[in-house]
Amino acid sequence: MIDLSKYTKELSELFSSSENILIICHINPDGDSIGAQLALYHYFKAKGKNVSLLSPNNIQEFLRWMDGIDELNIFIKDRKKSKVLIDRADLIVMLDFNQSNRLGEAEDYVIASKAKKVIIDHHLDPKNFADLIISDPSKCSTSELVHELVCDINGKNFMNRSYAEALYVGIITDTGNFEHGSYSSRTFRIVADLLDSGILKEKIINLIYNNFSSDRIRLQGFALNRRMVVLPELKTAYIYLSKDDLKEYNHVKGDTEGFVNMPLSIKGINFSALFIEKENFIKLSFRSKGQFPSNEFASLYFSGGGHMNASGGEYTDTLGNTIVYFLKVLKENVWRFEHQV
């Protein structure tokens, strides 16, 4: 855990001296990136700040109900306005990512901007593309980190309903609704404050988790039944889905979210991979249990990264060749499984 108080003064000065603040989430934003972004938005609004929101690309359906989401500008949909927002900003706050390529097609414009730049993130080893980097991998989510910084700057606990809903979404989605081991007692103290603010937790859980199309549920069944390969000797299971598979189930963005976690509930399986065939490459997601560094695996072999137990990357080849390559490099790394806790 890092000592956040050493950032409070600089961050507070940056916040108060900035007229136009732009908050940016990462490409293919998840609940944490959007949750942290909207929470910070509601904080700035409560403080009377001029604040804008930008996402490199479209958001998923399950986040569309959130208060403030209509303010989100999508770079690839409205480049002209997005570029104006980037140019006009005197402060850019980037949330939940540690590499500038997670800005997608907005990357060059954000990097070239004269605005002061701040990164607030909980991934390991952030690259240096900002004036101030606040990175705390001990936090379960960027949302948790944002809340702690906001409270430090505010001098006391800050809370309102929209802010609390946004943080709650960030925390539950990044912890898998308190399933992954990344949360702490501190997380629950924050969640207690969020619940006290009057958020409707059942409503939020239903909007986030019980909002699938029937096609999505059928795709999940198909993926587990027909496209999952279990390799007990490697303590590994993987799922692969081709473009045709996705088409058959009327796939929309976000439908395969969570699939990669499912093989980990098989006894003895500590490493799981999901292969999704895209137009010109294969997108990979990895999940692991214990000490297997899935992020190292992703970065060494699949130009990716992420957390120890949740990471991703890509590979430019056919689906079949990618799986062959995956199995080859996995076997080379099998000794690492000996160090499982």
> Using CA atoms, how far apart are residues 66 and 78, in angstroms rounded to an integer?
21
Q: Residue 276 Cβ, how far from ligand 5GP at the closest point, in Å?
A: 10
Q: Is 311 in the site for ligand 5GP (CB under 6 A)?
A: yes
> In terms of Cα–Cα distance, which of 235, 283, 280 is closest to 259?
283
Subset of 78-97 contacting Mn ion (CB under 5 A): 96
Residue with tokens 């998923």: 60
Residue 110, contacted partner among Mn ion, ligand 5GP, none, CB below 5-8 A by kind: none
Closer CB to ligand 5GP, 162 or 309, in the complex = 309
Q: Is 306 in the site for ligand 5GP (CB under 6 A)?
A: yes
Residues touching ligand 5GP, count (CB under 6 A)? 13
Using the rule CB under 6 A, which residue among 304, 319, 322, 326 binds ligand 5GP? 304
Q: Which element (helix H / strand E) includes 315?
A: strand 310-315
Shortest-Cβ-distance residue relative to ligand 5GP: 312
Do the Cβ atoms of 190 and 171 come closer than 8 Å? Answer: yes
Using the rule CB under 6 A, which residue among 44, 54, 62, 123 binds ligand 5GP? 123
> Using CA atoms, how far apart are residues 99 and 302, in angstroms rounded to an integer?
15
User: Which residues contact residue 172 at a Cβ distance below 8 angstroms, ignoring those fewer than 6 apart?
Assistant: 31, 178, 204, 205, 208
Q: Residue 341 Cβ, how far from ligand 5GP at the closest point, in Å?
A: 21
Do the Cβ atoms of 35 and 168 come closer than 8 Å? Answer: yes
Closer CB to Mn ion, 96 or 245, in the complex = 96
> In terms of Cα–Cα distance, which of 20, 11, 10, 24 is closest to 110?
24
Q: Is 305 in the site for ligand 5GP (CB under 6 A)?
A: yes
Closer CB to ligand 5GP, 263 or 305, in the complex = 305
Q: What stretches of the chain show up as alpha helix (H) in DSSP?
A: 5-17, 31-46, 79-88, 107-112, 142-154, 161-174, 185-196, 201-209, 214-226, 243-248, 294-301, 319-332
Subset of 234-273 contacting ligand 5GP (CB under 6 A): 260
Subset of 278-297 contacting ligand 5GP (CB under 6 A): 285
DSSP string, 199-230: --HHHHHHHHHS---HHHHHHHHHHHHHSEEE
Q: Is 12 in the site for ligand 5GP (CB under 6 A)?
A: no
Residue 255, contacted partner among Mn ion, ligand 5GP, none, CB below 5-8 A by kind: none
Closer CB to ligand 5GP, 119 or 310, in the complex = 310
Q: Residue 215 Cβ, how far from Mn ion at the closest point, in Å?
A: 27
Residue 285, contacted partner among ligand 5GP, Mn ion, none, CB below 5-8 A by kind: ligand 5GP
DSSP state, residue 292: -
Residue 157's CB: how many other CB atoms inside 10 A?
12
> Using CA atoms, how far apart are residues 85 and 54, in angstroms rounded to an integer?
8
Q: Residue 251 Cβ, how far from Mn ion at the closest point, in Å?
A: 24
Using the rule CB under 5 A, which residue among 15, 29, 32, 68 binds Mn ion? 32
**Token pair in block for residue 19:** 């007229």
Q: Residue 97 Cβ, how far from Mn ion at the closest point, in Å?
A: 8
Rule CB under 6 A: which residues touch ligand 5GP? 99, 123, 260, 285, 304-307, 310-314
Q: Which residues bind Mn ion (CB under 5 A)?
A: 32, 96, 142, 174
